[in-house]
Every structure is written in C-alpha cells, then in structure tokens.
Amino acid sequence: MDNLTFGKYIPGNSFIHRLNPTVKIVILIVLMVCVFLVPISATFVLHNFIILGSFLLVVLFLILLARIPFLQVLSSISPLAFLIFFTAIIQLLTNQSGTIIFSWNFNLSYYAIILIVLTLTLFLIFSKYLRFRAAIFLILFIGYFIFQYYISAGTLINYRINIFDSSLIRTAYLIIRVLIIILLSSLLTHTTSTIGLNNGFSGILAPLRLLKIKTDDLAMMMSLVIRFIPTLLIETNKIIKAQSARGADFFRSGIFKKVKILISLLVPIFVISITKAYEMADTMSVRGYNLGVRRSSIDKFTLRVSDYLTLIFGICGLAAMISLRVLGVF
C-alpha cells in the first residue's frame, strides 16, 4: 500500500499529457471496446492472440510515450495480482472441455496434512516479519501439491487434476484482457490532472445536457471519486500502522479478534472519509463552486490538430475492428 500509484497524477509534458482529456477518455473507451471485440475462443486461434498481443504492445508503447516509470505502472497492477491469479486458477480448474494436456494424480496423506498444518501455522506466526508474504504463500501452495504428487505413503484420498487446452486458452485471453484494461486505466489517471478529468467527463457527458441532467456536477463527482482512492488507501495504511504500534495484530489474531480489529479499522476510515468530504465541500464552497451553475476554468482545454488526428486514428481503428468482426475474420 505504500507503493500505491493508481489514481495519482504524475506531471509531465509528453504527447499523452498534452492530449485533450476528453480525447483521452474517448480513446480509452475505444481501445477497451476493441479489446472486447476480440472473441474468446475455446480453441487456439493465432490471429486472435496476435491482435490481443498487438493491443498490449500498443498500450506499453503509450506508457513509454508518456514517459511514466514502468515500475510505477506495475505497482498499479500489484494490488490486483492475487485476484488475477485466483481467477486464473478457477478458470483452469472449472473449464472441463477440450483435450486434456496435463493430468496429475495427487495423494492426500497423513504426512501431507501434517506438513500443511505445520507450515501454515509457522507462516501465520512469522508472517508479520516476512517481506514477501504473497510470494512465500504461493511457493508453499505449489509445494503442497508437489509433496502430494510424489509422496503416496499413508494416503487417505486420491484425486486427479486435469488441465484442458480450452481452459489454458481462455485463461490467457482473460489475463491479457485484464492487463490491458488496468494499464489503460492507470495511463489515464497518471497523465490527467483532476481538473483535466473533470473537463474530460464533462465533455463525454455533454449530450446528457439535452435531458436537463447536470453533467458538470456529475463529472466533478466522478473525478473526485478517482482522486480519493489513493488518499483513502494512504489513510488506511496510516491507521493500520498506528494500531499495530499499539499492539493490534492484523496477521496472527484469531478469526473473532480479526473481525473486532477490522471493525476498529473501518470506523476511523469512515470518519476520515466523511471529514475529508466535508473539508473538500467547504473548500469548494469558499472558492465559489455552486451546484447547478456553469463554471469557468483557468485551464482552457481546446482541441488541437493532434487531438483531431488521435480521434480520427482511434475511430478508424474501431471501425476496422467492427468490420473484421462483422466479416467473420475472427
């Protein structure tokens, strides 16, 4: 959590930074639509993977073009790494169609149970002092299956895990899609200020003004929500450190004590979020912000030639993807 960068604006003067915020949001939506236009197939289709891989390379090129440190971009993926891993495991184990490419027999024995209980107990005891807990837990998780594969003495239950070709292909599609979406979202927040996001959302929602919807207020709320994500997580990290210094143990406590600690963590988070919301409202009110009133801005976001060219390029790319899908190329 200390290294959290998602939602943080990184000042710069790159081509991506200088693009109109509305154009950036439109291109973000266009790229996401293009990614989801590539169908997930149960069989290996080379050109589908080539197209998805090309989109991933385009996103990485845009990150380099924006001159954002790649480690900071990776840190925006790290909080979701476990979720991606868990989803991939579920996809591999639940999809039982196609041809079996890997098949393993495992033996759950007395020795395996003792090993699991012993190592997990030690892990819970010393996890507070370990730096790479997720990596260590992953190594233990894999080690359990290796032990059950080779040690058959004292077997209680025999079971088999089959990995099918279709499950591997679907998992690869899933991982590439999620990576592209996360990287695109991070690229937008890294290269666009809060004022820029507000202006961009206002431009996207402008047609709703015909329905008498106050799009400026809605855009402001959306931009503030994005900017408050890292702020609240940083405050949460401060509370965890403060409570740990006072003796609270978030790792080795029992289930009921963890629930109690969690409640004691949620209460100050809610209080801080409400307090910061009131402070933000007072600050905006002092500076002349009124609901339902059209506002002027010191920063003028006008469309330049580069913005028009980017829009044309993005729309042409979307049209090409739709055409390929309609023609049945993929």
pLDDT of 2 above 60: no
- When divided into structural domains, the chain yields a total of 1
Flag whether 116 is in a domain.
Answer: yes
Residue 94 domain boundaries: 1-20+41-192
Q: How confident is the model at residue 280 (pLDDT cuts 50, 70, 90)?
A: confident
Task: Give the gyration radius of the chain's Cα atoms.
Answer: 25
pLDDT, residue 257, reads 65
H/E stretch holding 43 reads none
**291 or 103: whose pLDDT is higher?**
103
Q: What is the dihedral of CA 142, 148, 150, 151, to 10 degrees?
A: 140
CA 291 distance to own-chain centroid: 32
Q: What is the pLDDT of residues 122-172, one digit of tens each?
A: 887 777 677 777 778 888 888 988 888 888 887 888 888 888 888 888 888
Flag whether 29 is in a domain.
Answer: no
Flag whether 175 is in a domain.
Answer: yes
Flag whether 204 is in a domain.
Answer: no
pLDDT, residue 215, reads 72
Flag whether 109 is in a domain.
Answer: yes
Q: What is the pLDDT of residues 246-273, one digit of tens each?
A: 766 665 555 566 667 677 777 788 888 8
Mean pLDDT of 64-93: 78
Mean pLDDT of 3-18: 74
Flag whether 218 is in a domain.
Answer: no
Q: What is the pLDDT of residues 196-238, one digit of tens each?
A: 777 777 777 777 777 777 777 777 777 777 767 777 777 877 8
pLDDT of 194 above 60: yes
Flag whether 290 is in a domain.
Answer: no
Q: What is the pLDDT of residues 299-322, one digit of tens each?
A: 666 778 888 899 899 899 889 888
Q: How many CB atoms lie within 10 A of CB 61?
A: 10
Tokens found for residue 119: 């190592």
**181 or 293: whose pLDDT is higher?**
181
Flag whether 285 is in a domain.
Answer: no
